[in-house]
A and B are shown apart, each in its own frame.
Chain A
């Protein structure tokens, strides 16, 4: 077959996102709760009771973590009072705080990258941001930190991952209807 001259010169197309961290997302006004569930035979029942109470009170939760004697979760700050009331009514002992934010570091195929977690932790600790909880998914590592630390945390993370200010997105969680 001959190789004829092109009739039209189509532009080249650049592809595929860069691998590695490409954005930072901050979610403001996040609350966190630690509910004591004990370590006895009723632990599982108490965890279930916690989730049921929150569901009945229409409180969506995330960053749910099971610990030996507690279950912890995050929620929109606006939901905290409702969650406290629901948990108290269910007879559950809970400690809550509302001065937190989630800083999420986004990357394509996060779970194929090793070393991102240490870079994030090193960076956050270097600016004095204590990690209250973390969550991870295939495209992000989410860190629950004190809201007051967020500006320094963002600056430091941008330096670590060589990101410009355009790569930072700030959002808030909507309260459930």
Chain B
């Protein structure tokens, strides 16, 4: 049995005419001899009546001061896909096809109990397989599953899979059903070299590797969720990204069979994030590791993710998402890291207290805390750790497979940006990308210039 999983995103099912185009793709697959299994997202995006965000709002508006319970929130959010599934199944039925709507649980998707961000534990594909044998087109809710029906605490509770959940459902079903391919339908005709809204010259890549597409998605490209790519990669399921609204071939996401030409190349330019960059001046190299660890510990305790971490003998710099910056700043300003000396120093001091100080106006906690340390000044050194901040940054990334084997990539990027007067505050790189922290206001221009230099010349 040639099973083909076809996943349709919110914009592919938001209007009758779009659903008609999506249904046409399913019917075409059926006519070509495939057994389609359809996965759908909720109808429309934020603001649409049955979109996930709209449903969440219904609960939040009951009392904005009381956070809805995660379990109930998941039941609510799952409604969007249930409605969408029923509507799509009915659309196929009106065209004379045997279609059946299935919830995530009915499709056999069993997850952990992490409401809002559940992980798929297993898929029990028997029911879908039986339906396919009987000639049905199963239409499955994306983004959702259920806890183990035998779970003593939460038997069969509805869970949601978190961001990109419907893509994840598509890939996971493809793996469980040993599908010949998974097709992810969206409103763009495949994986582009850049966001076409920013770069008119961006073009569609015929083939990408799983690693490239995962990296692009992580760095801000809205193509396919990296988790879905990861599952497809682990199970070696051929994945396609296609447009519901065109007949273009789309992009094939390949694994071990990817052509050699894509193993070492420039893939695309992305940009993501509203970022704040923080620099801490730590003069004492001997105590620096302890101070750094305290900073990391504090950030971790508060759930603030830090990245673009940079060391120098006398400084520690890192980036935080802008929405978490005030939290990070509150935590750091006035923070005291006491370091004991193994033996009293030449002035007879038993230790050093490091206190973090942001620039004037941002140092309220410091200004309260610092005088409180006065009484201990006779016994310990009090040392300020000045903190400076670069606000309003964004990260522009060049996705470049195996660039560590290619000389000149960093030079091209830096030259393009600095020649255009765009400040590069910091860089970060992995095996698959090189990212530059630039002013947010220059993000779009940086993407355009880099695309022009690296892809159009």
Interface residues of A (CB under 8 A from B): 1, 3-4, 6-10, 12-17, 19, 44, 47-48, 51-52, 54-55, 57-68, 70, 72-73, 108-109, 111-115, 117-118, 121-122, 125, 130-140, 142, 173-174, 176
Contact = CB atoms under 8 A, between A and B. Distances in A.
B100 A136 contact: no
A16 B231 contact: yes
Given A15-B176, A131-B311, A136-B307, 8 more contacts: A48-B414, A48-B415, A65-B426, A67-B315, A118-B299, A130-B289, A136-B430, A138-B430
Range for the number of chain B residues in contact with chain A: 35 or more
Given A17-B230, A66-B425, A58 B309 contact: no
B369 interface: no
Q: Chain A CB within 10 Å — which of B310, B315, B409 has the most?
A: B310
B180 to A, nearest CB: 16
Contacts, number: 182
B175 A125 contact: no
A67 B414 CA distance: 15
Contacts of B305: 111-114
Interface string B120-159: 1111111101100110000000000000000000000000
Contacts of B309: 117, 134, 136
Contacts of A136: 307-309, 428, 430
A173 B231 contact: no
Contacts of B226: 109, 138
Contact of B215 (A60, A70, A138): A138
A4 B130 contact: yes
Contacts of A57: 407
B424 interface: yes
B219 interface: yes
A13 B311 contact: no
Interface string B233-257: 0100000000000000000000000
Contacts of A15: 119-123, 172, 175-176, 231
B304 A51 contact: no
A120 to B, nearest CB: 9
B222 interface: no
B427 A64 contact: yes
Contact of A64 (B100, B119, B130, B429): B429
Nearest to B308: A136
6 contacts: A8-B129, A16-B120, A54-B410, A62-B429, A136-B428, A176-B407
B405 A54 contact: no
A13 B411 contact: no
B432 A60 contact: no
B160 interface: no
Contacts of A61: 407, 410
Contacts of A139: 214, 218, 430
